[in-house]
Chains A and B, each alone.
Chain A
């Protein structure tokens, strides 16, 4: 039968990737580089997108070096023990990103419309749902992503479209106001928010026709990049550079000021955030899914749901340790800049290099 193959289509992978990228960037990117590159941030966004495209090419190339999975690849390159250690490193990276995702989710939700509800309740609820999604496996994830794509992307496009009439071009021009260093630093920061592309190393074995995923991956990056550029134009065009720099979540403010025609809803930011939650769910359940995958390589557990439960408890416990979101956000940003992104480049490259030195490149090409 055609289903039950534990695989997803390229379209499903593309949509999952779009949602993963969207969840991490849509709220963060507009405010991220405001202080570094000002109006030139549009160039930072474009440059960040280009860097992400290059990074994706690199990751896809490495993912095509192994016919099985990343763990098997590492094992062949550096031996079982070191592969085990590196898997722990990846588990740690996913854990940190997952906790940041949960923290971001609870912070935004409490700031926007549920200030009375404890962040622990929100985090626990989201973690349970993400665990449920991860436990259902890659096929269910692919199908969920396929539908969620419309639910998440269409509303934000509508908001951007409705905001066009309020954009003031003088807020956007002139573009070249920042130094090259600032623009480059801004680009690197934006690229760091795309570091979720690292997941491609783990997702590619699940994709049907994985040899030809490059087009889907670039399509996803271009799609998200285009949305970010449009968001930049909308937020800066309406609020000015200083206005955007002064806000923690300019995208949320954008959804608050733009009004839907007909006047049926007076505040649509709540609804828009509700849709954004869909992409956060996809991202978090994705991290949990890959944490589960890593764990099954590290220890022998018969039932996947027990792994999920253990991870949910660990993530929740660590989440509870961080009380101040802004402090945690700064730590996470520093971590991304100095550890997350560099390790995301160096580790796969290292394994790829060892693989080529060992002469595996040619034989695997044929697979």
Chain B
């Protein structure tokens, strides 16, 4: 590891160092200026187009060039901080490394003659998408806002929703070259300190060149890399993150990523959508049950269809069994292969649909799904029942309100299909047991992944009120198990 570089008292040396390390970097503006009545020598460094030009060039530079009186040579930088700039958001540091890191984030650096410190002015103003509209987690009722790639915009979106001094935003950088900003956001009085400590420990546990999205970070800090199930919840919705923070959970915001990670997480969290809390509880209960059923269908349907139709057709009533047999007449493939081919074809369509530009993706769905599907059925390559099974499976998978989680279901579906193809219903059950055991062994920051369906007595069964059935909001008096024990009360009745 390189030794930290300190700012030198000589400005010539500092300039020489900066010219060397920032050589061949045309996007960095470096300029010597003489300011004040006594022509005090300063050196300014900032990233082109990453700063707020109005602030730096329109205000700070103007102020330095025209409005400054005599600058004391012995404490020039401190003087400039107090009298030369018109923003409160400025700090002084003696570390070249910190200064450069901030400069690359859009801050402006001012070095002074005979001074071993540098003035770091927060002048970030890089281009961004603003606050975009949620696309992957659409809600009919509730906020339409979504996170963007800019970490500060994202923290603001949370701050706007939780105006409390106890909301803490701890920032650190990850990646030795990318120096990506990572913000750990939590409520100081609600968070479980052991979990907070653990995530901080895990974030410091590795050294990597760069992190460009929350997905990479998630894989580096999760416990069981081999599990198809995500151990962090990712979301693009600020209201979801704010609500999670108020439940004692921790949000990880990664610069350049519009997806925020929430931890700890349980299987149940993935079935909760934002508007579940904005709509009336009866309708929400129905939707939740539907989502759970759909999740089960998305995993089991192809497998159980193959198992029963191939090995135990006697389970179906005779008419239904005959209708299945009739629909397969002339199909050259064994049923398992037929279903597998169709499932793979659907996955191909899905993948192609994602990669193609928006309007073309939709067209592909119509061409692939309808035209090719119909042609395949007409040509007796596949049976109509299999088309129905695969379509139902796909439809069910889309009702899961989290893409990462739905992907896990898609993978597991193939595992179930494989076992069912070889061992029929026995294989299907053994597959189901393996998944159950795997889920039972999973933990997210030591909170069982299957909570509240297991061990819910730990929190007096309170977590069950927001699981398959969402109880009316007034009855969800306590926070879930993610919150530290002594702060679990959420709703108190006021006696007016």
Instruction: Give me the interface of A with B, judged by CB distance under 8 Å.
Output: 1-4, 9, 11-12, 109, 113-114, 117, 121-122, 125-126, 129, 132-133, 136-137, 139-144, 146-148, 263-268, 270-271, 274, 277-278, 281
Contact = CB atoms under 8 A, between A and B. Distances in A.
B446 interface: yes
Contacts of A267: 312, 314-315
A274 B457 contact: no
A136 B425 CA distance: 24
Tell me whether chain B's interface is mostly helix, strand or loop, or mixed.
helix
A9 B451 CA distance: 14
Contact of B434 (A113, A129, A137, A270): A129
Chain B's interface size range is 35 or more
Given A266-B315, A267-B314, A140 B423 contact: no
A148 B436 contact: yes
B454 A146 contact: yes
Contact of B425 (A137, A143, A266, A274): A274
21 contacts: A1-B445, A2-B446, A2-B447, A3-B446, A9-B457, A12-B454, A113-B312, A117-B423, A122-B423, A129-B430, A129-B434, A133-B433, A136-B438, A140-B437, A143-B455, A147-B453, A264-B317, A265-B317, A266-B314, A267-B315, A277-B426
Tell me whether chain A's interface is mostly helix, strand or loop, or mixed.
helix
Interface string B436-477: 111011010111101001110110000000000000000000
A270 B433 contact: no
A114 B310 CA distance: 11
B194 A109 contact: no
Contacts of B450: 143, 147
Contacts of B436: 144, 147-148
Interface of B: 192, 194-195, 198, 311-312, 314-318, 423-430, 433-434, 436-438, 440-441, 443, 445-448, 450, 453-455, 457-458
A136 B441 CA distance: 6
A143 B312 CA distance: 31
A109 B433 contact: no
B434 A132 contact: yes
A202 B266 CA distance: 31
Contacts of A133: 433, 437
Task: Tell me which of B192, B198, B315, B428 has the highest count of chain A C-beta atoms within 10 A of its own C-beta.
Answer: B315
Given A3-B446, A143-B448, A147-B454, A114 B440 contact: no
Given A2-B446, A147-B454, A278 B433 contact: yes
Nearest first, the 5 A-B pairs at minimum CB distance are A1-B446, A143-B440, A140-B441, A143-B454, A136-B441
A136 B440 contact: yes
A152 B57 CA distance: 73
Contact of A144 (B427, B437, B446): B437
A4 B426 contact: no
A141 B437 CA distance: 7
B242 to A, nearest CB: 25
A129 B427 CA distance: 11
A19 B277 CA distance: 37
A275 B428 CA distance: 11
Contacts of A278: 429, 433
Given A140-B441, A144-B440, A147-B450, A114 B315 contact: no
Contacts of B427: 125
A125 B428 CA distance: 11
Contact of B447 (A3, A9, A140, A141): A3
B484 to A, nearest CB: 11
B62 to A, nearest CB: 55
B308 to A, nearest CB: 8
Given A132-B437, A147-B440, A270-B425, 17 more contacts: A1-B192, A2-B446, A3-B447, A4-B443, A4-B446, A12-B455, A113-B312, A114-B311, A133-B437, A136-B441, A142-B454, A143-B440, A144-B437, A264-B317, A266-B314, A270-B312, A274-B429
Given A114-B423, A122-B423, A136-B440, A271 B315 contact: yes
Task: Tell me which of B192, B195, B317, B458 has the highest count of chain A C-beta atoms within 10 A of its own C-beta.
Answer: B317
A139 B443 CA distance: 11
A148 B318 CA distance: 31
Contacts of A109: 426
B86 to A, nearest CB: 49
A361 B74 CA distance: 82
A125 B425 contact: no
A3 B443 contact: yes
A247 B302 CA distance: 35
Contacts of B455: 3, 9, 12, 143, 146
Contacts of A140: 437, 440-441
Nearest to B453: A147
Nearest to A271: B315
A265 B433 CA distance: 23
A281 B445 CA distance: 28
Nearest to B318: A266
B195 to A, nearest CB: 7
A350 B458 CA distance: 38
B433 A266 contact: no
A116 to B, nearest CB: 8
A274 B317 contact: no
Contacts of A132: 434, 437
Task: Tell me which of A1, A142, A267, A271 has the highest count of chain B C-beta atoms within 10 A of its own C-beta.
Answer: A1
A190 B454 CA distance: 32
A310 B448 CA distance: 29
Contacts of B440: 136, 140-141, 143-144, 147
Contact of A270 (B192, B315, B438): B315
A113 B316 contact: no
A152 to B, nearest CB: 11
A2 B481 CA distance: 10
A266 B198 CA distance: 54
Contacts of A125: 423, 426-427, 430
B433 A281 contact: yes
A1 B194 contact: yes
A137 B443 CA distance: 13
Contacts of B443: 3-4
A274 B424 CA distance: 11
A263 B316 CA distance: 9
A126 B430 contact: yes
Contacts of A139: 441, 448
Contacts of B441: 136-137, 139-140, 143
A349 to B, nearest CB: 34
A61 to B, nearest CB: 26
Contacts of A136: 437-438, 440-441
A144 B318 CA distance: 36
Contacts of B433: 129, 133, 144, 277-278, 281
A343 to B, nearest CB: 31
Contacts of B430: 125-126, 129, 277, 281
Contact of B448 (A3, A114, A277): A3
Contact of B423 (A121, A143, A263): A121
Given A114-B426, A117-B423, A268 B437 contact: no
Contacts of A142: 454
Contacts of B448: 3, 139, 143
B451 to A, nearest CB: 9
Contact of B316 (A117, A143, A266): A266
Nearest to A282: B433
A125 B434 CA distance: 11
